[in-house]
Structure 1
Amino acid sequence: MRPLYTLLLYLLTPFVLLRLLLRSRALPDYRRRWNERFGFVPRPEQPVAVWVHAVSVGESLAAMPLIKALVERHGRGRVWVTTTTPTGSARVTEALGDAVLHSYMPYDLPDAVARFIDRIRPGRVVIMETELWPNLFQALKRRRIPLLVANARLSPRSFRGYSRVRGFAADTLACCRVAAQSPADAERFRSLGAPQVTVMGNIKFDLALPEAQLAAGRELRERVGTQRPVWIAASTHEGEELAALQAHAALRRRWPDAVLILVPRHPQRFDEAARTIERQGLAYRRRSEPRAFGDAAVLLGDSMGEIFVYYAAGDAAFVGGSLVDVGGHNVLEPAAAGLPVLFGPRMHNFLPARELLLAREAAVEVADAAGLEPALTRLFEDAALRERMGAAGREAVAANRGALHKLLQELESA
């Protein structure tokens, strides 16, 4: 089946490039560095000890503790990090600078993959979460380069999709070891035919809170107003900004000075979110604007890599991608910051984290957009409840640390 898959990839490549051009109208970086997507990267001056791939911002943030530990272990310039999206690329560059080598991930075309591997010559490869690339995995196997799919998760929905091509999936998974987030994830990988699966937990629990961002968040809260109720709607998608703004307008009927920090998931949607705020008739400021916040009702978080600034400035957090059919985003970050967490019913990409926070009474799941305002009202009415939920979230995250150490041991044993 792999020859058919490869043929389809070559046939689709022109359309993929066209899609990059179309997306570049909103985010110009999509039209840059195309050579990297075909494996044309400079040869490193010294051997690459580990190549780590993290597709976008979420995966890059999850991989950050691992990448930093690998740099500390192997030295600067000996870890190569790839991403797929410009936002992921920007996050890696901003957080790690020249401590790592960085490029886009090559497309899963045999010549592009071979060219890339032969140029960087990695000693080991780590693919974050669930990025299964048949040609890449086979190329690494032929070269006897150890491959680990780390922090691996496989939702029931994704499992059903891969089950339709079970033999093809099994051939791909036979090329790697899988370090699964949970026993349920591990069982789904084994059911697809993965021969080497271990449960190591979720390294997102090992994310260190960035002190500089926490300090900046406290300063932001001072500027917004320490006595004003503040909540965050983070990583929102189309439709969720409107839901958050409508909930906020209802909240302001009881708390006229309440503030919403609205943080869209993708930077190309910042301006769209601003127009949505304007249509709701709410006064707002942008994070990127230097002027004073004043009595504005909304702060638009139009910056990248500052999520803990926003969490440190708030009293509660709603995490997006959960009211729409995306599958949710990282609810462990606001929990680690000590905030009560809200999310919608579509959390299939973060089921273990969802179950943990609900079991610890650190989070509230709302059934739909209409459930946001009552849940927030309850939290704003009860400071003791906010404190209990925030403390429970911090404790839940702290109690589940340790996956990073296991992953490093697994890599060293390859």
Structure 2
Amino acid sequence: MLYSLYRGLTHLAGPAVRRILDRRAARGKEDPARRHERLGRPVLPRPPAGLIWVHAASVGEALAVLPLVDRLLLLGPHLQVMVTTGTVTSAALMARRLPRPRAFHQYVPVDLPGAVDSFLAHWRPDLVLWVESEFWPNLLSAIRRAGIPCALINARLSARSFGHWRRLPGTARQLLSVFQMALAQTAVEAERLSALGIADVRAVGNLKYSAPPLPADLAGLAALSAAIGSRPVWTVASSHAGEEAMAIAAQVELRHRLPDALLLLVPRHPDRGGEVADLLKASGLSFARRSEGGRPGPGHGAFLMDTLGEMGLVFRLAPVTVMGGSFMPVGGHNPIEPALLNSAVIHGPHMFNFAEVVGEMQDAGGVLPVSGPDQIPDAVAGLLSDPLRRQAQAEAARAVALRNATAIDRVMAALSPLLNRAGVG
């Protein structure tokens, strides 16, 4: 009944959704040139042979499935993979990272019945692999009605989301019945998904462990390394609103102890660069701005990296990383990425999106948790001033990441029967 109500409301919501898309485009949150994709009107032709559709909500999920895309393409020379996401940032990253021409990006359609039906009628995928936990009722119901084989991969379901779904057991069972299989990141999440009615649920590990180290432009790395020299460097990576002010305050205090220290400040959303630049100006901390072609000079206390796709560069430059999203109730961001590049990780109290990863790294001595922003200066100073301790911590985290890198093998083995059933195995 709830889904019928939702579907009926979304039938009427077209004009309102179009206005929302227009407003988002005005703020740089949508790509006007590809608005037709969001409305279920693709212009690219459907590949003539097999097509696997992988849906990943945003940047983190999309990066996690890149190793899976590579493995899927090995199944046959004529097979193609379409990756859908819903954000401009993830689209730009996929344009650079997907192995073209056999893998390509499209925007996921908004969850309006007409857009969904048009999207599926055009692409007619042979198999759908849905990443993590972004559940769109109309889209999933249309996949089920079309009889397309579908699996939930790298599945994640927080205790809070599980609690919400448990209060609507019939709706959850109907919505999730589209998945013939769910491959969960952890045993706990496997139990939650099984309780919601998915019949075949397995805990196979986190695909984010299987991703290779983030790439970096070597010329850009050399230029920035030369500009920074031997200065002590730390980064606040993928920061959210409120965390930049904390980072700036911590850097001001840190420079009383380490006068040459340089902060690489990397907002999660580069379009917030102007807002962050205003905070830096107000603090009196001198800085250069990457998006304007700047480089950190000897007198700069901060380098604002408000650009896209340069985290591999950041983690190679900064031997200490403070994880953004962990000092606000965002849930944190991926600590595996800095760990693979030997950057020692500090995180705040809100890392619930990576609870098991952080727990395993902490047990190995691979991360340094702090309870609040007031502890950041001490934590950063301690690691920057003690290279042996810093290296030991970084190596412990990297060892955890490498030990779990075979998650992709378990995912492919578990998917094998479904791949064969879809005719793409």
Q: Please indicate the TM-score interval, normalised by the length of the shorter structure.
A: over 0.9
Distance in 2, Cα, partners of 1:218 & 1:390 = 22
**Aligned residue in 1 for 2:402:** 398
1:76–1:240 CA distance, 2 compared to 1 (3 A): farther
**Aligned residue in 1 for 2:34:** 33
Moved more, 256-265 or 165-174: 165-174
**Percent of pairs identical after alignment?**
36
Equivalent position amino acid for 2:324 in 1: G
Shift of 1:167: 1.6
Given that residues 336 and 394 in structure 1 are in contact (C-alpha distance below 8 angstroms), is that contact kept between their aligned partners in structure 2? yes
**Aligned residue in 1 for 2:422:** none
Given that residues 316 and 340 in structure 1 are in contact (C-alpha distance below 8 angstroms), is that contact kept between their aligned partners in structure 2? yes
Equivalent position amino acid for 1:133 in 2: W
1:167–1:40 CA distance, 2 compared to 1 (3 A): same
In the alignment, structure 1 residue 379 sits paired with structure 2 residue 380: no
Shift of 1:57: 1.1
**Aligned residue in 2 for 1:3:** 4
Given that residues 154 and 207 in structure 2 are in contact (C-alpha distance below 8 angstroms), is that contact kept between their aligned partners in structure 1? yes
Please give the per-residue CA displacement for 1:314-363, whole angstroms capped at 9, x wherever unaligned. 11001111111111111111111111111111112111112111111111
Matches within 5 A, 1:60-139: 60-75=62-77, 78-96=80-98, 97-139=100-142
Shift of 1:11: 4.1
1:114–1:28 CA distance, 2 compared to 1 (3 A): closer
**Aligned residue in 2 for 1:20:** 21
Given that residues 217 and 311 in structure 1 are in contact (C-alpha distance below 8 angstroms), is that contact kept between their aligned partners in structure 2? no
Distance in 2, Cα, partners of 1:150 & 1:158 = 17
- Local SS of the residue matching 1:24: helix
TM-score (norm 2): 0.92
Moved more, 83-92 or 26-35: 26-35
Distance in 1, Cα, partners of 2:228 & 2:18 = 43
Q: How many residues align?
A: 413
Please give the per-residue CA displacement for 1:255-312, whole angstroms capped at 9, x wherever unaligned. 1110000100012211111111111111111223444421111111121111010000
Gaps of 5+ in 2: 419-425
1:165–1:315 CA distance, 2 compared to 1 (3 A): same
Given that residues 48 and 120 in structure 1 are in contact (C-alpha distance below 8 angstroms), is that contact kept between their aligned partners in structure 2? no
Moved more, 231-240 or 335-344: 335-344
1:77–1:37 CA distance, 2 compared to 1 (3 A): farther
Of the three residues 333, 341, 347, the one matched with 1:337 is 341
1:214–1:397 CA distance, 2 compared to 1 (3 A): farther
Alignment RMSD: 1.9
Distance in 1, Cα, partners of 2:219 & 2:162 = 41
Distance in 1, Cα, partners of 2:223 & 2:296 = 12
1:72–1:274 CA distance, 2 compared to 1 (3 A): farther
In the alignment, structure 1 residue 170 sits paired with structure 2 residue 183: no
Shift of 1:28: 6.3
Shift of 1:56: 1.2
Please give the per-residue CA displacement for 1:94-145, whole angstroms capped at 9, x wherever unaligned. 2125442321111233332222122111111111111222332232223321
**Aligned residue in 2 for 1:303:** 307
Gaps of 5+ in 1: none
**Aligned residue in 2 for 1:161:** 164
**Aligned residue in 2 for 1:315:** 319
Distance in 2, Cα, partners of 1:309 & 1:77 = 33
- Local SS of the residue matching 2:65: helix
**Aligned residue in 1 for 2:61:** 59
Distance in 1, Cα, partners of 2:277 & 2:361 = 31
**Aligned residue in 1 for 2:423:** none
Given that residues 21 and 30 in structure 2 are in contact (C-alpha distance below 8 angstroms), is that contact kept between their aligned partners in structure 1? no
Shift of 1:15: 3.6
Of the three residues 360, 368, 390, the one matched with 1:356 is 360
Given that residues 215 and 313 in structure 2 are in contact (C-alpha distance below 8 angstroms), is that contact kept between their aligned partners in structure 1? no
Shift of 1:219: 4.8
TM-score (norm 1): 0.94
Shift of 1:30: 4.2
**Aligned residue in 2 for 1:191:** 195
**Aligned residue in 2 for 1:271:** 274
Given that residues 77 and 101 in structure 1 are in contact (C-alpha distance below 8 angstroms), is that contact kept between their aligned partners in structure 2? no
Please give the per-residue CA displacement for 1:135-161, whole angstroms capped at 9, x wherever unaligned. 322322233211111111111122122
Distance in 2, Cα, partners of 1:233 & 1:182 = 28
Distance in 1, Cα, partners of 2:245 & 2:108 = 34
Of the three residues 376, 388, 394, the one matched with 2:392 is 388
1:385–1:294 CA distance, 2 compared to 1 (3 A): same
